[in-house]
Chains A and B, each alone.
Chain A
Amino acid sequence: SASSAPPAESDEPTSANVYLYQKPVTFNPLVAGLGAEALTMSLVYDTLYTTDPEFAYQPRLAESWDVSDDATEYTFHLRDGLEWSDGEPLTADDIVYSFNLYANPATASIYASRLAGVEGYDEFKAGTADSLSGVEAVDDQTVKITLKAPNAGFMSLLVGSFFILPEHVLGDVEPAALPDDEYFTLPDVGAGPYTMKEFNVDQDVVLEKNDNYRTDVGIDTLYLKMLTSDVATAQLATGEMDLVQLSALDLGAVEGLPGVTVSSKPSAGFLRLLVNFEKFPDELVRQAFLTAIDREGIIDGVLSGYGQPINSTIMTPWALPDDLDTYDYDPDRAKELLEEAGWDFSQEVKLTWIPGTRDRDQSVEVILENLKAIGVNAVANQIESAAQLPMIENAEYDLMVSGGGTYTTDPAASVAPLSCATVYPAGGNTSLFCNPELDALMAEGQQIADPDERAEVYQEAARVDNENVPYLWLYVPDTIWATSERLKGFEPHGDFTNGFWNAADWTISE
């Protein structure tokens, strides 16, 4: 639960400067896809629950929740006395209203499909129903979500988006007109710890504390500043900045700075190589590639040690067995594997990536050298970001660098990148990988509500995945934060789009 922050020591208004690593465009949670937008919205809007730095669920609007034994009914109990920033009460109706918006085909929300398992979704989508029957307000403070089929991992789908919107403000707007509504350019009514006062294009977002928030908010004004990371780092040194998410490369610059604290957490993201399943169906080849890559070396060299290797597409700690093959760096072994697979060493292997991110660029350089070292005819192939998806769709790549998001919260999230049914463009399986055995295990895990049983099934799935090497997993980088001396109460979160999860607790002391 949120600890109440100590009130500001003096009447002097306090403010903090926070680095925003991207430029937000819209604050419409139905369609917003940028990390910086999510960060900003997490200050302005609230959600039912979120995750803490250990990726455990953390109550927010919902004080608690119950899950039915068959994992089909989720009941959320809201806190007492919730209010919007304009003083209006926040009730279960707002929650139902919001979920309906996400599911409503008219709003074209990019998150709609996450609610596909909810009862009534298909009807709503097809236009035969005018609301999402699976989400209902039991009373003012209780919301019940009913699923069509058991899904023990359902809650993980709602993390990171599904901000609750004020029905009393937006209720009269036609859902179809909602995406273009002016409210979203400067949402001034929200349930988050802050309300947005200004949005200065390419400069900053000015947030003022929400006096009607459920706890006392520690800092009066937040400035989210859009800069380059270099400048932001520099400003940390000049005192113009209080909170910066850093790249490992810039660590050196801030570590020596007086009064700057560096903290880190393993992130929710990772770097992997897509390995085209259609071109490399032989798992020996994929294993060989993985063995050839000096992942520890990359972590130590490129990330200055701020990262962890991964060995499975399933990443939730409790779903991982201890006996996974770690594919330690071993060029000789890699070569043997290739020879065993009857690899044609004259075959060109293109390593495709979108240049521009320093740690990726450097990792690519290492990987290319590693592959060449075992005799693979590896060549670099740089592309523009727009060219990436068509290339995947047409299976035109060999190896492709690809980042990825939150699979950590629940192993169910790993279905999309793995199952035969979701091979791109049908879904997020960008390696075009298919293994029915693995599909069966993943499906089984989704039906089981009991944590221990679930863990067992998923651990088995992880073993299969580990042996199959559907992706060449590289590493999970740590998310590194640097804070100034003035800023207190910051707790680092590995999911950088959720980095401001406890912003209400931050305070400033000069």
Chain B
Amino acid sequence: MSLTETATQVVVDEEAKRLPKELSPDQLARRRFYRNPTAVIGVIVLAIIVLASVLAPLISPYDPSAIDLESIRQPPSPEHLLGTDSTGRDVFSRLLAGGQVSLSVGFLAAIIAVTLGTLAGVLAGWFGGITDTVISRIVDIMLSVPAVLVIIVLAGVIGPSVPLLIGIIALLSWPSSARIARGVVLSLREEEFVQAARVLGSRSGYIIRRHLVPGVLPPVVVSATILVAEAVLLESSLSFLGAGVQPPQSSWGNMLNEAQSLTVLSSMPWLWVPAGLLIAATVLSAMAIGDGIRDAIDPRKNK
């Protein structure tokens, strides 16, 4: 062994002792994320909202659909923390139940869309050629389809329901994830470590699993958070147009819709303010988390 090599070896070991362990890009990203107060607050807020909705059956003081015509449109009181609606149902309980609906629409739609989109994008980006052409064409067409209109029509065709809403939102959202994934894969394809994997004899399945998917994941997670936000908003807008979650099932969207009535808007704030706040809080948290991840993985922001 030559002197240079020995010297190097010593230095490597020395370095290991002397220098604090350098952080990997992923670790750095994680650290940057946790140092971003907005993103951390987003995580906390979203966690609380999700938890409350998941635990809704346990913490709801009333059955969310139990009507009580004796006490309708009651302002908040110790019995009804957030008052009652026009058929005397407990607004707080409905809010929790509505959260289950709105959040499952948001999260499930985003998860399905992102899974579909990532898969399609990775395949298109990696295999290129006809696969890419076909997938990209579909993506183009899907992106030019007006989402709201399609949802309204389909809801009319099949009858509005939560699974349908989730399905259609997912179906209309995957192209954006696919575009992102495809873009990342196209650049990863040119990365030397991916080309190296090919030269080293690795097969497509392995390359996709070990090299592409981990690389695609961070930006796709960013797009997922945005999709969650968009889906929650879309649900509420659709409820406004009459194609969303249908009463008596509650969702934040159709609770906020109560504000369509001037009476409710002006004199019964407890009927819509909490739903509005929760929508805004969920959307804002999701976007803050997305921004946080984006900033964290952006290589231009070093350290």
Contact = CB atoms under 8 A, between A and B. Distances in A.
B247 A361 contact: yes
Given A251-B263, A300-B69, A301-B72, A384 B159 contact: yes
Interface of B: 65-67, 69, 72, 86-88, 156, 159-160, 242, 246-248, 260-264, 266-267
A382 B159 contact: yes
Given A234-B262, A355-B242, A382-B160, A301 B87 contact: yes
B151 to A, nearest CB: 14
Given A230-B262, A294-B69, A365-B248, 4 more contacts: A297-B69, A301-B72, A364-B247, A365-B87
A54 B28 CA distance: 80
Interface majority SS on B: helix, strand, loop or mixed?
Answer: loop
B247 to A, nearest CB: 5
Contacts of B66: 369
B65 A356 contact: no
A149 interface: no
Interface majority SS on A: helix, strand, loop or mixed?
Answer: helix
A7 to B, nearest CB: 36
Contact of A383 (B87, B159, B242, B262): B159
Interface in A231-259: 233-234, 237, 249-253
A358 B258 CA distance: 10
A457 interface: no
A475 to B, nearest CB: 14
A478 B32 CA distance: 63
Contacts of A366: 67, 69, 87
Contact of A362 (B87, B260, B266): B87
A30 interface: no
Given A230-B262, A369-B67, A249 B86 contact: yes
10 contacts: A230-B261, A250-B261, A250-B263, A253-B262, A253-B267, A356-B242, A361-B247, A368-B248, A380-B248, A383-B159
A364 B86 contact: no
A298 interface: yes
A302 B86 CA distance: 7
A249 B267 CA distance: 12
B32 to A, nearest CB: 47
Contact of A250 (B65, B87, B242, B262): B262
B280 to A, nearest CB: 22
A193 B302 CA distance: 78
A380 B66 CA distance: 15
B67 A365 contact: yes
Contacts of A230: 260-262
Contacts of B242: 355-356
A251 B266 CA distance: 12
A298 B69 contact: yes
Given A253-B262, A380-B248, A382-B246, A301 B267 contact: no
